[in-house]
Structure 1
Amino acid sequence: MDEHRTIFVGIDVSKDRLDVHLRPSDEALHVPRDAKGLDTLARRLGRLPVALVVLEATGGFEASVAAALAAVGLPLCIVNPRQIRDFARAMGRLAKTDTLDAEVIALFAERIRPPARPLPEPERSHFAELVSRRRQIIGMIGMETNRRDQAVDKQLIRRVDRHIAFLERELVELDRDIDRAIKASPVWCETEALLKSVPGIGDVTARTLLAQLPELGTIGRHQLAALVGIAPINRDSGLMRGRRSIAGGRTSVRGVLYMAALTAIRRGSPFRPFYERLTQRGRPRKVALVAVMRKLLVTLNAIVRERTPWRPLAA
């Protein structure tokens, strides 16, 4: 949990309304559990240094709440109501109203600090599947194009061409589905716009980050770099000091960051001088490019956390 994030949020979820309590300020508020209310709450909490949001599992009512808050990268934990009841009894809190329940949940978040867990909510899962399928189709188009270039038989070439045309139509439809998924949530639209304000970040990179890196803006830069797989890994043993390298992590995210870094340094963005300083100091080009990827990731993390668009001085 990021030590710089100090606000703990408890949310009592009912069919029509959300009661929200913030610790340690003891601020209380409530919003309707509809699309407008969820976006209002997500925007408000997204601007605060939230360490953790805790909700009770309430038979499915919490799913839409979790989806909206996860879309802005808030660290979430859904807990069993029995845990909250046991905690309330231990504190001598026997009274029960929605407002008091939200306060108890916030106290539970602040004092117990259960680990935030990735949410299997339908909206993000659906979006992640669309982005993953898009990547697969692009890969298939590339493989079929290579096969066409190697083919000699004219009838076989026509068949491969038909398959490529089919895959390209599928790609157009998937892009429409992805657009609709993003436009369905104003918060996701806002986050995509924030990401695309950074030089080198286009549609594909922004959407891959939205789908595959929900932790963006909620954890520290070192944790995030390790999560993506661009943190240097030591390979030392005894007196031997091996070369540092990157490995593991989320390959789909690392792939789009690599392309974004290439775009950023080729188009003369503010990241290019950073890359050139490293190469002029003798760093291999590949090492310098990975450093640009890390700098991009740190910048994106800060932008999503602060909910403010790119400013050139930040690079």
Structure 2
Amino acid sequence: MQFFIGIDVSKDKLDLGWLRDLTSNKKKTKVFKNHSAELTRVSDWILKNTKSGPQDILVTVEPTGVYHEALLYHLHECGFQVFLPNAALVKAFMQSLGTVHKTDKSDAIILARYGAQKPDRQLWQPEAPEIRELKAMMRRLDALEKDHQRELNRLEASEITGTSERVLQSLKDMIAVLEQEIRNLQQDIDDHIDRHPPLRNNRQLLQSITGVGPGVSREMVSMLTAKAFRSAKQAANYVGVIPRIQESGKFIGCSRLSKEGPARLRAKLYMAAIVAKQHNPLIKQHYERLLANGKNKMQAIGAAMRKLVHLCYGVVKNQEKFQLQPL
């Protein structure tokens, strides 16, 4: 017999929902603090109430930034079956149930029900330590780059408004510090990749694609190594470069990027696509064909970004360098 648990995750707490009976919808809930010291209590509560071994219990966990990660590793180490679903699919499932009242407790039960009705679910597996380290450094780099851009914006505004020299100097000093730390962290990331042959090899494969430079290759190494994508389309969907049709009134057949997933990667892919449409013959041909077919420049750039993701997925999956086929 299999038991189904759902856990709604927030920064401060974990809402557990045990779906005791799929037919009658009998349930039991419990709330714990989202703190490392509480995780043992979480697993003990599940085992005590279900009176079963962890191998017979499926725990469906809501993905929430980084706040679910410690919980996932703890549950996996205890021997539970762990399912980390796509948040968008869970949302669609909730809407299909016609849920009126939305609470953390009800979300936990719905997560349990979603896990129960997904026979083709792919159980979560922990990442290798080098992947976790790479992801942590990439998150920190993203934060530093955002801080850097904010300080640049403040400096520009201050120069326009004629603020005091002391404030201007403070901004310039902070920008210099951030730029140095960004360079240091980028070097540490590159060194980390070089120390691990699979990461180093994937980066070399990615950089064989014209248009994929250091920034994009760092991001794609992290993403493609950490995520078990089943297809290039799935990878592109994760990045948010899949076209989404928008039609309303006179606007017929208008498509825009879905823009789901990591914005920082899309920003880097945008610049890579600008380069690739000029210097990568395959991307250039794809871009010009779309323009000739009536697409506007932004739609063609979006398609170039998507093509780059497909190429990146292909070289890593096949473990072969990019080779331009005769046009």
Maintained 8 Å contact 1:148/1:157: yes
Maintained 8 Å contact 1:141/1:167: yes
What's the offset of the Cα at 1:142?
Answer: 2.4
Maintained 8 Å contact 1:200/1:263: yes
| 1:134 paired residue number | 141
Maintained 8 Å contact 2:210/2:280: no
Q: Distance in 1 between matches of 2:216 and 2:299?
A: 21
Query: CA 1:288 to 1:82, structure 2 compared with 1: closer, same or farther past 3 Å?
Result: closer
Q: Distance in 2 between matches of 1:270 and 1:242?
A: 26
Q: Which amino acid aligns with 1:124?
A: I
| 2:271 paired residue number | 259
Q: Distance in 2 between matches of 1:125 and 1:212?
A: 11
| 1:22 paired residue number | none
| 1:202 paired residue number | 213
| 1:73 paired residue number | none
Maintained 8 Å contact 1:194/1:307: yes
- 1:146 matches 2:127: no
What's the offset of the Cα at 1:311?
Answer: 0.2
| 1:105 paired residue number | none
What's the offset of the Cα at 1:113?
Answer: 7.4
| 1:181 paired residue number | 192
Structure 2's unaligned 5+ residue stretches are 1-54, 56-75, 82-118
Query: CA 1:277 to 1:234, structure 2 compared with 1: closer, same or farther past 3 Å?
Result: closer
Q: Which amino acid aligns with 1:261?
A: A
What's the offset of the Cα at 1:123?
Answer: 2.2
Maintained 8 Å contact 1:194/1:303: yes
Structure 1's unaligned 5+ residue stretches are 1-56, 58-77, 84-111
TM-score, normalised with respect to structure 2: 0.56
Query: CA 1:128 to 1:79, structure 2 compared with 1: closer, same or farther past 3 Å?
Result: closer
| 1:300 paired residue number | 312
Q: Distance in 2 between matches of 1:162 and 1:205?
A: 28
Q: Which amino acid aligns with 2:256?
A: S
Q: Distance in 1 between matches of 2:147 and 2:79?
A: 46
Q: Which amino acid aligns with 2:202?
A: T
Q: Which has the higher contact order (CA 8 A, sep 6+)?
A: 1
TM-score, normalised with respect to structure 1: 0.58
Correspondence for 1:250 among 258, 262, 281: 262
- 1:115 matches 2:127: no
Q: Distance in 1 between matches of 2:255 and 2:125?
A: 30
| 1:106 paired residue number | none
SS at match of 1:287: helix
| 1:220 paired residue number | 231
Q: Distance in 2 between matches of 1:168 and 1:215?
A: 27
What's the offset of the Cα at 1:215?
Answer: 6.0
Q: Distance in 1 between matches of 2:238 and 2:124?
A: 14
1:242-268 per-position Cα deviation (integer Å, ceiling 9, x unaligned): 633322233233222222111211335
Maintained 8 Å contact 1:221/1:301: yes
Query: CA 1:234 to 1:147, structure 2 compared with 1: closer, same or farther past 3 Å?
Result: closer
Q: Which amino acid aligns with 1:305?
A: K
Query: CA 1:207 to 1:144, structure 2 compared with 1: closer, same or farther past 3 Å?
Result: same
Q: Which amino acid aligns with 2:314?
A: A
Query: CA 1:215 to 1:181, structure 2 compared with 1: closer, same or farther past 3 Å?
Result: closer
What's the offset of the Cα at 1:125?
Answer: 2.2
What's the offset of the Cα at 1:289?
Answer: 0.9
Q: Which amino acid aligns with 1:199?
A: T
Q: Which amino acid aligns with 2:325?
A: L
Q: Distance in 1 between matches of 2:199 and 2:182?
A: 21
Query: CA 1:250 to 1:139, structure 2 compared with 1: closer, same or farther past 3 Å?
Result: closer
Maintained 8 Å contact 1:217/1:301: no
| 1:279 paired residue number | 291
Which stretch of structure 1 is more off in the superposition, 133-142 or 174-183? Answer: 133-142
SS at match of 1:211: helix
| 1:19 paired residue number | none
1:41-83 per-position Cα deviation (integer Å, ceiling 9, x unaligned): xxxxxxxxxxxxxxxx9xxxxxxxxxxxxxxxxxxxx798799
**Structure 1 residue runs of 4+, over 6 Å off?**
78-83
Query: CA 1:80 to 1:147, structure 2 compared with 1: closer, same or farther past 3 Å?
Result: closer
Q: Distance in 1 between matches of 2:252 and 2:78?
A: 48
Q: Which amino acid aligns with 2:187?
A: R
- Tell me how large the CA RMSD over aligned residues is: 3.0
SS at match of 1:283: coil
Q: Which amino acid aligns with 1:253?
A: L
Count of aligned pairs: 209
Q: Distance in 1 between matches of 2:276 and 2:195?
A: 30
